[in-house]
Structure 1
């Protein structure tokens, strides 16, 4: 029975082949119906119909990738003791590859002892003992080499994975927002993350070492088997017949009609009932929908709908890979029938020889057992060799990508002008000016900002107000150069920000985004990373938490500042007594059932939205206020009080107002309150444009949109 699929990773593979794949092009694409699935396979070029020739193109590409493999080996050699470990690892694997052939030779000698005993009725006991001990010794050596190899592979693999894992970490960390969000870059990064659960570099070493060892193993075993059986009646012929089905399977795998996943292909389902089944199953399994499911009394309707979908989908509604397996299991071909017949030939030949030469039955039986056992091992080794050689080109291409990701150019180019010229002047604030700025997000068709112009002088407070989606947050993102303007100019202290060194510009600006995030680290680290040079200073971290309004509730937590907002490593455990509420000091989550019947703690804190926002504000204070040598002159706040209650909001703005005059501050908000009355300049935005600007009292006198919204919000608090 043919294996329908050798690895699930193939389903998401991105081909490096040029051009396009169009399932509707019937001249180049073959369509196959697999249950509820439609499989579309690109017709193979004529050359690929020659067995093995599909590998030719891949082998021709190795030349471009080999220099990267040599570079990888040099990098590995630069690690502590890695050359010694690498040589030892390769030597052990090569030595291991010869052991089966030696064992086969000893087994062959035992066969000669049997033949001699049959012919002369005498047994050379000394030879029998030596051969038996030799065969047992081979098994012991093989097991010993495997153990030593694993002991060498562990530190070697760990060092290699850590080294190249650090390279990949650096490659990801240096990318700006626009570049990192590019789907092509994400695919490039994902392609080098791991290969079959291993790091790319260590996976390449393991693959090539195994490839060499497997090749030697096949060659030596075939050679020894031929030598052992050359004097046996029909021995070589029986060996050939035993291995013929394996060779037939190998050739069949190379044939153009074989699937899975060779060449370019795609699969989809248009069966609405099956799609509904999958959607309803996802709905039920996702805990995020549970509240609406229960509150909306949906269970009965969902169950009825699912049963109806199951009925309509029919008997052939199954997962894609299950459908593929069913397809190949049911597709009986003459070639398979022929292979089944071939597998019986050795037994038939043996039976005929046994009738003709009954005195040779013991020897023939021992020969047949030896041949059958060797052929099984040969089949396994051949399949492994085929599998590994089939991925050589892909593996080497991945090594090349591993080095290329470290040089992915950022799409926001760095400037070369140092900033600021006067560090003391920055501490008193930065002047920010927008001149006729237009901006459109990557991939968007509409402008997020249109002809936006304003100026916030040094040390002043600016509040940007308007509805959601009006462009408030975009102004803050452009000020710190997360994106570059489509047209127009942004200046800080009179200098175009595109000419300034990005590191210097971002060091002088502190920003709290509306969609702020918290790192999967402790509360201490979440606050401390607001100012990396002082990230381990507990006194400054505590002061920042106090200014941000977080110190009080953090001190009430069991682990205080050591509390993890989201523990990056989960605990794993089996079913526990229901009375077990905590484990390792953390709550047990019985709803999170893991694989193999195991469950794991979510290890997340249960802080409210307001508390999480206070931590984000504390991180901002850590950088802009607490640090004595802070070079921050511009503070940007995007909806800083969105999750705060009125009291917490009042306290936050009170602390921020104390900074007025020593920092330039820009707030964006959709709520009008005390902050707008204290602002030096208010920008009212609507539909990506600034429609009104001025002080609070000036805008009220205009009786425009600002005054209208102010009145609407004020009426909500009037009796």
Structure 2
């Protein structure tokens, strides 16, 4: 049976733990548990929970229909769908068929008692049919599992692409929005089969369970209509199963509903913190150096004494609390209710001794069917409650494709003249002001400058002065709040985003490395030439990375962070490596799977050289590159002085006529060659000019230049 999905369908509104009218507060050990009060008929029965929950199902139905149309487009999927539904429904009728054969056996017993004769041929056919139902049920179950594997995989593969596209299309401000992240997470929540498979299998299972219940009850009523006291016994037994279900539904901790838990016990909080101090490796050096062992042990012991036996993990404490609540009216009634069928049978046997064999067989059949019936009803109710949540997930799965981006696309193609753009691009800021989302501080304030085609500009200043923000705004990762940015004389917001970013190559200070091979990491600088190995190697050489890449065990095929994990179990501890990667023996021996350390560590300087190589691949190596503007954000932050000097020399030699803009807080000799230097401080441009002009002005730039120069005297 599938458990109900948790927290899938978040309602609108708020949950206020302090609202005593709507929220029940319970103290569980050191935990304060706040639970939304349920209606009087708050059992887990369709129709007694909030109407809004089920109205949500109707809003989700158009998306389910869209999903069915999408499934119809998947290769060979409809055939598997039809087969799966047929097998599921056929399998649901097996219990009713078995019940019919059992009823025929009762008839044979009744005839034998009344006439002292047995129709042997009929008995054989019924016996074979009864056993055939068991065999057929097993075969149908096997066929269902066989079909479900390829069907689930095809559905999952299709919607994996759907989710990938939904995430890939989002711009930076939209992607960083916590509400969007929650929406993406909710739409992606599913079992290994994915949202589509969960929805299809859950709905099919609920329908088959309803058919199972209906057919079994109908068949039982047909069989018992002529049996003495049969209806009475059936009613008692079935009601006993429902009573048992009510008892379980009130005692089992499913985690449904709206609730929250916290602890305000400062001693317990301190104990958890001290556990981390003595357990986490990153604290061990200062823990030992500070001679904290005796003090922390004393503090922990005193806190533990004050907390006493109230401490404990929330789930463990809540589970124990729920076990103490299992005594309910339903649980009290269900035990004596179990005895009623035996009492009725005994009274019947005393009055009519000749009917004992048939009554005994009827009683056994009824009790067996009632037990199965109770479990089936419980499963159906649980499934029905889950469908509303599941259908809401389907709606979210399709809604994420329509999440609007914050950065609107322009309409004008860029550049108008490709050859002209290769010779450099004009960049102009006019009184630009900008604040990052959810920040009240200005990252840039009234910034103005103009960079002509082919010029080399260096932005200098302390960390946090706004240097990196200038580069992000040129790439339109964010839009300005005030002022405007002009690219070749046109408002940057009017240009097509794809064209603009294709004409600009950028290396950010907080660069990333993808969980791909080193070759692919460099090649992604220019995806159109990703298969050109010669260009990848040339880019690595220009970036100063080729030498250390060749020394790696797998060279350009090395993964820095391998996205596929190696699993193994029971490996002798003498084994140091598997598949060329070191083995980590973490956790307890005997667990089913452990994973290897699948990455290769590089120094900060080596990682930065890879990032620079990717930029070379984009802007210089590709012969048909349309890049006319090069942006570098602290490109030498992790390089030693020799590597920094070599990098700047190569960049100046290879940039050709392209416009180049650097941001840096280390000047080196780069600023000597700059056509324009922008000295920034406190989110604004304080000084602008050439190296000689700014030194002559003897302002902030000259002061920092002299400070850095003195370090090498």
Q: TM-score, normalized by length of structure 2?
A: 0.93
Select 1:172's aligned residue among 164, 167, 171.
167
Conservation of the 8 A alpha-carbon contact between 1:592 and 1:600: no
Select 2:480's aligned residue among 458, 481, 485.
485
Select between 475-484 and 690-699 the one with higher mean Cα deviation.
690-699
Conservation of the 8 A alpha-carbon contact between 1:459 and 1:660: no
Residue equivalent to 1:31: 25
Select between 366-375 and 161-170 the one with higher mean Cα deviation.
366-375
Deviation at residue 677 of structure 1 after TM alignment: 2.1
User: Could you list the per-position Cα deviations for residues 250-295 of structure 1 after superposition, in whole angstroms to 9, with x for gaps in the alignment?
Assistant: 557889x997555433222222233334444455665555665566
Deviation at residue 620 of structure 1 after TM alignment: 0.6
C-alpha distance in 2, partners of 1:50/1:585?
Answer: 54
The 3 A distance-change label for structure 1 pair 349 and 302 is: farther
C-alpha distance in 1, partners of 2:208/2:74?
Answer: 25
Conservation of the 8 A alpha-carbon contact between 1:106 and 1:134: yes
Deviation at residue 196 of structure 1 after TM alignment: 3.9
Conservation of the 8 A alpha-carbon contact between 1:592 and 1:601: no
Select between 300-309 and 362-371 the one with higher mean Cα deviation.
300-309
Number of residues of Structure 1 aligned to a counterpart in Structure 2: 711
Residue equivalent to 1:75: 70
The 3 A distance-change label for structure 1 pair 431 and 590 is: same
2:143 pairs with 1:148: yes
Residue equivalent to 1:559: 554
The 3 A distance-change label for structure 1 pair 326 and 567 is: same
Select 1:500's aligned residue among 495, 500, 516.
495
Unaligned residue ranges in structure 1 (runs of 5+): none
Residue equivalent to 1:681: 676
Select between 704-713 and 118-127 the one with higher mean Cα deviation.
118-127
Residue equivalent to 1:391: 386
Conservation of the 8 A alpha-carbon contact between 1:429 and 1:661: no
Select 1:638's aligned residue among 633, 636, 650.
633
| RMSD of equivalent CA atoms | 2.8
Residue equivalent to 1:317: 311
Select 1:624's aligned residue among 596, 619, 625.
619
User: Could you list the per-position Cα deviations for residues 184-228 of structure 1 after superposition, in whole angstroms to 9, with x for gaps in the alignment?
Assistant: 111111111133443111111111110111101111111222222
Conservation of the 8 A alpha-carbon contact between 2:247 and 2:331: no
Residue equivalent to 1:246: 241
C-alpha distance in 2, partners of 1:138/1:516?
Answer: 64
The 3 A distance-change label for structure 1 pair 655 and 640 is: same
| SS of residue paired to 2:260 | strand
Counting only pairs closer than 5 Å after superposition, residues 47-196 of structure 1 correspond to structure 2 as 52-54=47-49, 56-117=51-112, 122-196=117-191
User: Could you list the per-position Cα deviations for residues 373-413 of structure 1 after superposition, in whole angstroms to 9, with x for gaps in the alignment?
Assistant: 22222222112111111122222222122111111110000
C-alpha distance in 2, partners of 1:348/1:278?
Answer: 57
Deviation at residue 95 of structure 1 after TM alignment: 0.6
| SS of residue paired to 1:85 | helix
The 3 A distance-change label for structure 1 pair 302 and 50 is: closer
Conservation of the 8 A alpha-carbon contact between 2:252 and 2:322: no
2:324 pairs with 1:330: yes
Unaligned residue ranges in structure 2 (runs of 5+): none
Select between 234-243 and 293-302 the one with higher mean Cα deviation.
293-302
Conservation of the 8 A alpha-carbon contact between 2:244 and 2:330: no
The 3 A distance-change label for structure 1 pair 236 and 664 is: same
C-alpha distance in 2, partners of 1:589/1:294?
Answer: 25
2:209 pairs with 1:209: no
The 3 A distance-change label for structure 1 pair 378 and 608 is: same
2:699 pairs with 1:704: yes
C-alpha distance in 2, partners of 1:140/1:698?
Answer: 94
C-alpha distance in 1, partners of 2:115/2:603?
Answer: 91
Select between 645-654 and 203-212 the one with higher mean Cα deviation.
645-654
2:547 pairs with 1:524: no
Conservation of the 8 A alpha-carbon contact between 2:695 and 2:702: yes
Select 1:435's aligned residue among 420, 430, 436.
430
C-alpha distance in 2, partners of 1:58/1:236?
Answer: 37
Deviation at residue 129 of structure 1 after TM alignment: 2.5
Select between 505-514 and 104-113 the one with higher mean Cα deviation.
104-113
Q: TM-score, normalized by length of structure 1?
A: 0.92
The 3 A distance-change label for structure 1 pair 480 and 32 is: same
2:271 pairs with 1:274: no
Select between 557-566 and 692-701 the one with higher mean Cα deviation.
692-701
Select 2:663's aligned residue among 656, 662, 668.
668
Select between 239-248 and 684-693 the one with higher mean Cα deviation.
239-248
